[in-house]
Amino acid sequence: MLSSALPPILCAHDDKTTPRRRSISADLLAFAGHHPGGPAQAASGETPRIQPGSSPFRFTTNAPESLELWEGAKPVLVYNHGLITKAGVPVDRSRSSYIHPLYGLDGEVLTDDFPVDHYHHRGLFWAWPHVGIDGQEYDLWMLKGIQQQFERWLARRTSAQDAILGVENGWYVGNQKVMLERVWLKIHRATAKGRLLDLDFTWIPQQKPVTLAGAEGKSYGGLTLRIAPGTNTVITTPQGNQADDLYMTRLPWADLSRRLDATGRASGAALFIASDHLDYPPMWLTRHYGVLCVGWPGISPRTFQPGESIRCRYRVWVHRGLTDKAALEKAYAAFHAAPAWRVPAGVGD
């Protein structure tokens, strides 16, 4: 559980449409802090000022399986650390350790969970279809034989400019922990144009080597964003607007925007890859039905030894309406030029 001694960190419903949240650990029931929120964002593109010592962000817990983040009166995201199920969906599609909903700037639900075409897709998530351990293969993507499980909170902090969440998970095959996973999120204040979320992942194999690989002929496996149902989908990459889906294509960034069915208005999000990412730029799979899939290490397997640290950094840019290549290039250049957000040494050790 979160300890007040941690230093400041820099770096249901049981119907056929609503996921049911079920706790992995009773300890999660004790994690229910609340921080007073600040005023809602200003209408201009500038970050609104607030009183010193206060924050517009607050964490809330309305269900023991999920932690919510708000900025003022608007929801930002939900991190699901407990086991999530849905009525009418096979029980073997139960999952945890992902973000859904991720909200747009106007409070609209931007992501999808348990979509009927791919029950295993889950908002903003990170998983691989090929996980090799000791001569056996498991599928974290399709949730076969291996699962992510919450272990502890590393940090939860709000400030005048951002909110920080640190989580430690484990990958388990039965009762055996095969991978340590640390997830750090830095959520910036929204402006009229968008909101930035920085993600910093570390994976460390435990007693045995772990081999990761993406899907054959497609490359997906890694950070993935499934967007909520909509029409008029536009996928933009450094190559411009993509009329067709891309397979095994190396890209530093990609954006998916569409008119959401739930609101009738356009929203979207881009995934940016940090320049220090392994095998930069990695492969991607993009689908106009509504998904962006980073494919790292792609179709060529990579094996990591016990104790070896695998670190990958990303940025998500949530934006209102459609956007264009020039705006995306500018936003990516700002990410590329900014100093890397670093988790303090020793945190989580």
Coil, helix or strand for 27?
A: helix
Sketch the domain layout of the chain as residue ranges. 19-337
Check: CB of residue 128 under 8 Å from CB of residue 212.
yes
Maximum Cα interatomic distance, the chain, rounded to a whole number of Å: 57
Check: CB of residue 59 under 8 Å from CB of residue 185.
no
Q: What's the pLDDT at 345?
A: 54
* CA 91 to the chain's CA centroid: 23
Q: What's the pLDDT at 47?
A: 39
Give the Cα-Cα-Cα angle 29, 157, 13 (nearest 5 degrees). 35
Can you give the length of the chain in residues? Answer: 349
Q: What's the pLDDT at 344?
A: 55
CATH architecture under which domain 19-337 falls? Distorted Sandwich (2.70)
| pLDDT by 10-residue block (mean), the chain, 349 residues | 32 39 33 31 36 82 94 97 90 93 97 93 97 97 96 95 96 97 97 95 97 97 97 96 95 98 96 97 97 97 97 97 95 92 60
Check: CB of residue 190 under 8 Å from CB of residue 173.
no
Cis bond leading into 281, ω under 30°? yes
* CA 171 to the chain's CA centroid: 17
Q: Specify the pTM.
A: 0.85
**Reduced DSSP (H G I as helix, E B as strand, rest coil) percent helix, strand, coil of the chain, to 5:** 5, 50, 45
Rg over CA atoms, the chain: 19
Q: What does the CA dihedral 159, 200, 185, 65 come to, rounded to 10 degrees?
A: -150
Q: What's the pLDDT at 34?
A: 30
- How does 105-114 read in b/e, with b if 16+ C-beta sit within 10 Å? beebbbbbbb
Coil, helix or strand for 142?
A: coil
